[in-house]
Structure formats: C-alpha cells, structure tokens
Amino acid sequence: MIPVILSGGTGSRLWPLSREAFPKQFLQLAGEESLLQQTLSRLPEDRVSDPLIVASNQHRFILSEQLEAIGCQPRSILLEPFARNTAPAVAMAALAIADENPEALMLVLPADHNVRDEAAFRAALAQGESAAATGSLVLFGVLPSGPETDYGYIGAEPAPDLDDGLLRANQFLEKPDRATAERMLAKVGHFWNSGILLCRADRYLEELRRLSPDIYDTCRLAAGHVWADLEFSRIPSEIYEHCPEDSVDRAVLEKTDSAVVVPLDAGWRDMGSWSAYWESSEQDEQQNVVVGDALMEDAHGCLVHAGGRLVTMLGVNDLVVVDTRDALLVARRHRVQEVKELVEKMRAEERPQVDAHREVYRPWGSYDSVDAGHRFQVKRISVKPGEQLSLQKHHHRAEHWIVVSGTAEVTRNDETYLLTENESTYIPIGAVHRLANPGKIPLELIEVQSGAYLGEDDIERLQDNYGRTEQAGDETTAPASAERA
C-alpha cells in the first residue's frame, strides 16, 4: 500500500494553538510526536511503501523538518498552491501513483487523527486490503461511543457479495445535530466516518471521472504540468485555481455503488476541536486535563493548556483555557465548535494572531517577535548550524544585530565578517545583507528594527537557498529554473 497523507488543513477550531502558518497536524497534541508524525509512525512497515504527502505550499519547510526528525523519506511531496478540499488532493496523488502503477493500492489518511490501539488499526487495514485490490473503495467506519455532532456518519449493511466483516455503504450524513445523531445510533450499522480510504489509484480516478468530471479533467490537466522544486513537486496554480472544491465524500463516495465499510474499533479520534482533545486525553479525578503549569482548585471538567506562565482555576466547571504568548482563549467546553466562527471574525478584522504565532518558523530557523512599538520592533532570531538567510535588502527599515550565543557570519554590501557573543553590527536602510551560521551550535541573536515600515513584506530577496521569490511571499508558478540557488 502507498500511504497518501493529507496534510493541508489549518485546524482553526484548535486556535490559538493551531494557526494557518503552523496548523494542528504539526503540533504535539497527543504525545511526544506531532499528529503528522504519529500518522506515519503507526503504519505497518511490512505492508506499506514510502508515503506520498499532499501539503500546503506555505508549510513545506515545517513538513520537511518533521519528516526528517522521524527518518521518513517520502516518495513525493505534492504542494497545493491553495486548498481545494480533499477530492482534488486525492486526485492529484492518484494521478501521480497511476503513472507508475495504475492498480497500486493507495491508503488515504488525514494527518490529524489520534489512534490509541494501533494493533487494531493495522488489523482493520489488512481486513480491507483484498476488497480494495478487487476494485472496491474501502472506508473505515468507527464504532461510535456516543452521539457525536463533530463527525460525519456512514450507514452500512451486510451484502452477499462481500467477505465476512465487510459492509456495503448505503448512507452518508455530514455532522448531524444531536437528535439526528441519537436516532442514527439507535439503529444497527451506523458508524463515524473516519475519512480514511483504501482503494486502487485507477478505481478512484475512474469513479471521479464518472461522478465528478470537472474535478477529474482539471486535475488531469494540472498533473501534466507539475514541476520539481528542490525536494517538492508543485501543482501549477494557474490550472489548479479553476478546480472545483469538493470533498471525497461528496464528489465520489456518496454517489458510487462500490463503497464498502470495515468497522474500526481502535480508539480513533479526529483531533478537530478542544472537546475532542479533552475527551482523548488522560483526565484527573475531577475530569480535568492539564498541560503546562496550572493550579486547579475546585475546578471540574476543565481543559487547561498553559503556555509560558502559571494559569490558576478556582470554582469553575467545563471551561477550556488555552494560553499562548500572544493570545488567550477562554470558552465553555460544550461551545468550542464555535471557535472556528471566532477565528473568521478575527480574520475579517485582519488580526495577525490568526495567521502565525509570535514565534515564526523558517527553513533556516525561527524568529520570535519580542516587542514592538512606534517605528521599532525587537526580535529574537535563531539560525540552525550551517544555515543562512537570503541575501536581501530593505527599503524602509534599518537593523541592529546583537549576538547572544554562537557565531554569526555577516555580509553587508561588499564586506563579510564574523561576530561572536556580545558583539553587534548595524545594517542601514538599503544595504545588501545576509546572516549565516557557520558554526556547529545554534546562533542566537537579538535584532532591533527601526524605520517607517516594519512589515515582513519589506524584503527584497536577491538570492535564496530555499527557492523563495524576491518578495517575502512564496512563489506558486514555475520559474525558468527550479534548481537550488
């Protein structure tokens, strides 16, 4: 089986921990590994090949770093210039796989699930393998533990042409209200929809072409123009922007007569909300879940995720408190589904806390915006050993760098020089400059910016090791040459 990992979501219901620049699949929400890393680590090594990963363009370097951390070498990383829901994402993966082997089995997995019983999960995959090999589209229906309204539901029934344990899908319902969910659970043969799909690449494409031809035709055209950029494969934006947005369920599975269900009883949870996080986490005697430094007094049924400071709770019930360096969420646990609407309101107000944390990750390291005011900004910059920032200049700001630890190699116009601990330098407005770490330990420095405009888009890149464009944004169309600079 070829795992196809869908890693393009933003996870807005898990704000403020999950943000567009660093969404939930890259967070350590259920252990020492991120949800993405856990998705890959739980796969049966003897039954799967190297994964194909479909991801957002803006997350490519975070993705590469997390794959490297667990020693995963993907067969391909397909970058979407923008999200078009799951049906096009799976189509692009299927087209890439079918070019090598049309009958290859692909196992489509969202990158944001938690599975407690990995042995049961692997057994379910094995159970569905033969049906997928003979042309069925195999779904994995989770045995429900209650009338959840966060999940979609699948109805299924036995069929004489199926092996024991397999069911024929006959109904799909997306996130019902509680009364409807309770009615469905009162009937036999209803499951939570896990979103996991096992099928041959050619069978998915055949059904997509028959049932949603506009998506198929657009993805087929885009697949013919995918281009290589470093270790990534980029989907052309000028074609992909015309692809209709739709989910695999609506585009294919709800319309096909080839969908079968394998019951899955593996402690599965979609980590899509703070209530799901609370339910899947270990609770104390008062049903509290506490992460970080928190003091709980007469508090019951609460979730506290503390950042860098103490959080205290006194005489409260069923609250969710999530504290980060630049934002605080306080909500009733039973209303956390509405966090998504809260995020949309913040986006309409153009609040920066929607997009990124105070600490922002880059392929060369990270920076933390420590303080800002009228015509100044202070950042803490960390550069990984052997890495360097782009050769660049600014039109509106000057910079003053102070080395805290490590060694900095500074290029400023025509000169290059080294700075060590407690030494500093000045980069005037318009100077061509570059910062590099030639040492074997991380370079830590403080940057003080001053000027009339301090936005990240005041960067004119003249040369870059990571294939980024001249401006601060990322390119989405093919350049004349995609080689590493």
Please tell me the CATH superfamily of domain 359-463, with its number: Jelly Rolls (2.60.120.10)
pLDDT category, 469, cuts 50, 70, 90? low
> What pLDDT digit, counting tens, does each position of 332-346 carry?
999 998 999 999 999
Long-range contacts of 324-330 (CB under 8 A, 24+ apart): 324/16, 324/17, 324/357, 324/358, 325/357, 325/358, 325/359, 326/16, 326/353, 326/357, 326/358, 327/15, 327/16, 327/353, 328/16, 329/15, 329/16
Amino acid (one-letter) located at 477 = T
pLDDT category, 79, cuts 50, 70, 90? very high
pLDDT category, 395, cuts 50, 70, 90? very high
Cβ distance 465 to 484 under 8 Å? yes
Q: Is 449 exposed, middle or buried (0-12, 13-18, 19+ CB in 10 A)?
A: buried
Stretch among 21-30, 77-86, 256-265, 443-452 having the lowest mean pLDDT: 21-30
What pLDDT is stored for residue 137 in this prediction? Answer: 97
The ranges of the chain annotated as CATH 2.60.120.10 are 359-463
Nearest to 140 by CA among 123, 162, 161, 116: 123
Over residues 181-207, mean pLDDT: 91
What pLDDT is stored for residue 162 in this prediction? Answer: 86
Dist CA 465 CA 469 (whole Å): 11
Tokens describing residue 248: 């695999």
Task: Select the more confidently predicted residue: 331 or 180.
Answer: 331
The ranges of the chain annotated as CATH 3.90.550.10 are 2-270
Dist CA 269 CA 31 (whole Å): 14
pLDDT for residue 93 is more than 50: yes
Q: At 201, phi and psi to the nearest 5? A: -60, -45
pLDDT for residue 284 is more than 60: yes
pLDDT category, 146, cuts 50, 70, 90? confident
What pLDDT is stored for residue 107 in this prediction? Answer: 98
Q: What percent of the chain has pLDDT over 90?
A: 76
Over residues 274-284, mean pLDDT: 91
pLDDT category, 437, cuts 50, 70, 90? very high
Task: Select the more confidently predicted residue: 477 or 328.
Answer: 328
Query: How many alpha carbons lie under 13 Å from residue 363 in its C-beta half-sphere?
Result: 17
What is the layout of strands, in order, in the sheet containing 303-305? 289-291, 303-305, 319-323, 328-332
What pLDDT is stored for residue 163 in this prediction? Answer: 83
For 2-270, the fitting CATH number among 3.40.50.150, 3.40.630.30, 3.30.300.30, 3.90.550.10 is 3.90.550.10
pLDDT category, 472, cuts 50, 70, 90? very low
